Amino acid sequence: MKKKRKPATGPLKDIRLLDFTRLYPGPLGTMMLADMGAEVIKIEDMNTPDYMRFYPPYIASESAGYLAVNRSKRSIALNLKHKKGVDIFFSLLPTTDIVVEQFRPGVLDEMGLGYKAAKRVKTDIIYVSLTGYGQNGPYARDAGHDINYIGYSGILATTGSRKTGPIIPGPQIADVAGGAYMTIIACLSALWAREKTGQGQKVDVSMLDAILPLMTLQMAHYHAVGLTPAPGEAALTGGLACYGVYKCADGKYIALGILEEKFWKSFCKMVGRPEWLGRQFVIGEEAEKLRAEIAALFITQKRDQWIAAAAGCDTCLTPVLEIGEVEKDSHVQARSMIIEQTHPVCGKIKGIGVPLKFSQTPAKPSWSPPVLGKDTAAIMEEIGYSQKEIETLRKESIILLAEN
């Protein structure tokens, strides 16, 4: 009997999820659910597995991107173009709570793996379908990536400056906020609804829909005044000098995020500029003048000197950390937000920790990301296949068994 891997702790312990997602948004969401204790079985077609496995850069022979979003999961590799492979999926359904999929609308139905077919096997199954544009609407079948979704949402148009025009944000906002996080919310909400009603359902998650709430304040301001500020000129995107990024003497940057009057008073006192007290919310040319004065001040010392000076002053002045500095930050370390695991191929690998801290059901990563087919044999045995049947299916190229 192959060893069965199951998360040992977490608030979602004993929830089983079948994961059909690929690339970044879905896998990140299902990994976070796995970290919280759900048993997540990553299902890949053995002939066309998750594309992320092949994207550089690599750690040893493994994709760094794949490693980043697939820990704590079990892996089963099937030939989903063959009826026997599809049958194995349906054999898993009776003990499954949620299926998460990330294909374009209708694709899973064409494969015989859609919600209607699954519901005939398990009436209260939950299907979460994650797409760029949703299951209906003019764009439903269109291809897209993060940049396209933030383009439609207004996010891209408000990010940048009048001089530069729109600038692509550093992180993939739609993939993470619209895809991964909304997938988690969809799963948990549908689970609670089933708990109350006994009914499963299909949840339609559109990344475009899901990032529109990020523009709630901007939309409200637009509807109030009927004007659209140029990129970088809204109050919180560069219009206010008291809320911005400034360069220091060593070429590094600090973030000044002062909106409350009490913090502005504290800041003016710290830097010895009492003449700035009445100028916190100036706009237009006056804001440009104040910004130039603040910039001239910050360029006189190194970033960490300014941060040391601000310690204990109760003002919103913080460093702009580079990626290599984040894991060394004392607060990030205190919150266990950088974790290290041992991978059978790559050795020691680091990743982002679990952001939710539960007092009674602590959540933590269970194991490193699985190689393709790592748990195929164990999962097959759990649903009643004999070792002889498993070997026969392997020889028929219906399943893939990992070599290590």
| pLDDT on residue 72 | 97
* pLDDT the model gives residue 228: 84
Determine the straight-line distance between the first and last CA of the chain, rounded to whole angstroms. 16
Residues 122, 65 share a domain = yes
205 shares a domain with 88 = yes
What domain range includes position 126? 16-213+333-400
Inside any domain, residue 235: no
Average of per-residue pLDDT across 272-289:
95
**Domain end among 262, 296, 319:** 319
Give which of 27, 74, 16 is closest to 50, Cα–Cα.
27
CA pair distance 252, 369, nearest whole angstrom: 35
Q: What is the pLDDT of residue 6?
A: 84
Final residue of a structural domain among 279, 295, 319: 319
Whether residue 2 is predicted with pLDDT greater than 60 in this model: the reply is: no
Answer yes or no: do 75 and 184 share one domain: yes
In terms of domains, do 62 and 156 share one?
A: yes
* 340 and 290, same domain (yes or no): no
Q: What is the pLDDT of residues 105-114, one digit of tens each?
A: 999 999 999 9
Quote the mean pLDDT of the chain: 95
Closest CA to 41 of 84, 95, 112, 82: 95
2: Cβ contacts below 8 Å, ≥ 6 apart: 375, 377, 378, 381
**E strand or H helix that includes residue 27:** helix 25-35
**Hey, what amino acid is at 374?**
K
Q: 10 Å Cβ neighbour count for 51?
A: 12
pLDDT of residue 230: 83
163 has a pLDDT exceeding 70: yes
Same domain, 268 and 314: yes
**Domain count for the chain:** 2
How much is the average pLDDT of 275-296?
95
- Report if residue 237 sits inside a domain: no
> Model's pTM, two decimal places?
0.94
